[in-house]
Chains A and B, each alone.
Chain A
């Protein structure tokens, strides 16, 4: 166990004077409080501005972050926000994301520690995404946008520093993923031909929300040929219908990102969000014998899949148990016939959608997963 896990932090979080000659960026590296990139050294003024954006009261405990279960006070959150390079106006988004991630149904404890490469994906909906300058358009998942980059980075720094999931200590991921640096986007609501995701889930368009899901990295879905929904979505079906991703062997939830050009083509034919999800769910199937390797290594029941799946070798089983377990977003720039499939981690984690609280704007609404007999629905 490393010293950063074993040491007890001081209270309140904490100031230690250091020599004038100290290289502050190197100091945070030396203490292991980094994601591998240089952090912005916090100052009292920057921390105060972040705490104010969170509503003041620096010792207010927002949540505890597993698997270390460190206390995320507003001051501790503010320190990590500054280190990530966030502006104060991003702070309510990161807080809402952390509250969503720390809902028991999300099982952040498992997501942080798993040998799988899952990382929480954050998707922001509503006017706040635009207000703070998040990018859901050209290169949405890529580099170059401060809000996307530092909001996702702040979440990761909190998961590392407060949650203790430093690689090799409590994060046991076999391969990891670039999404473990930052994984935050917003939906391209301004150009999407469909209702926004959070409206489909019962929020008002003027509400701002965070959606979090334990996710693999994005997988490109190309189709430059089809001019109708079936053709485009059959490419998505192809990407979904492999037996190597975690949804195939452990069910759960997944994310589908329809690129803007594809979305416009699909919408011209009158298809709505539910039509897309239902089409994908009813066609994205795999042969049970494939995930059981035709029992070549012994008869496998697979207790992680729903009991109602037929387990005959020739049975065609769905990628996720319901069309509601496909979370659909429209993103991307105006040019390019690309979409993306983002497999989830499996039934061990349920995604969470919640409204973003802001000082003076109390959004208490959230869509907690409803769990019945071990199965969770958003």
Chain B
């Protein structure tokens, strides 16, 4: 009886829980992460401005990755985590 082989290799991923959803944005600190794609800043600035007009945030912070195709620097992720309660990111090709 012939045998076949799975060529994929195992994935060692761990499941992570999604953060609890917030009920209101008022008073929270909003972070916006721009991934530096061609049109990401246009999209995200508009999102930021619309959100600012609709909610009373405690703070609004804007961040940029070094390069759109690379992972964000772990220090930047840590900074965003420390300085914000909710974060919005997007690409804009």
Residues of B within 8 A of A44 (CB): 3
Residues of A within 8 A of B16 (CB): none
Interface stretch among B21-29, B46-54, B67-75, B82-90?
B67-75
Secondary structure type dominating chain B contacts: loop
Q: Tell me the bound Cα distance from A352 to B9 in angstroms.
A: 24
Q: What are 21 A-B pairs with beta-carbon distances under 8 A?
A: A4-B8, A9-B8, A13-B6, A13-B8, A16-B3, A17-B1, A18-B4, A22-B4, A27-B4, A33-B7, A41-B4, A42-B5, A47-B5, A69-B11, A73-B9, A76-B7, A109-B71, A110-B70, A164-B8, A348-B70, A374-B67
Candidates A15, A161, A349; contact of B8 at CB < 8 Å: A161
Pairs A-B, 5 closest by C-beta atoms: A110-B69, A70-B9, A348-B69, A76-B9, A14-B6
Smallest CB separation, A336 vs chain B (Å):
37
Q: Tell me the bound Cα distance from A10 to B9 in angstroms.
A: 8
Residues of B within 8 A of A349 (CB): 69
Residues of A within 8 A of B8 (CB): 4, 9, 13, 33, 68, 70, 76, 161-162, 164
Residues of B within 8 A of A16 (CB): 3-6
Q: 7 new A-B pairs (CB below 8 Å) besides A9-B6, A71-B12? A: A9-B8, A13-B5, A15-B5, A76-B8, A79-B7, A161-B7, A164-B8
Chain A positions near chain B (C-beta within 8 angstroms): 4, 8-11, 13-20, 22, 24, 27-28, 33, 41-44, 47, 64-65, 68-73, 76, 79-80, 83, 107, 109-110, 114-115, 157, 161-162, 164, 303-304, 347-349, 374
Residues of A within 8 A of B36 (CB): 303-304
Smallest CB separation, B7 vs chain A (Å):
4
Q: Give the contact-size bracket for chain B.
A: 20 to 34
Smallest CB separation, A80 vs chain B (Å):
5
A9 and B9 in contact, given A115-B93, A347-B67, A348-B67 (Cβ under 8 angstroms): yes
Q: Tell me the bound Cα distance from A162 to B93 in angstroms.
A: 28
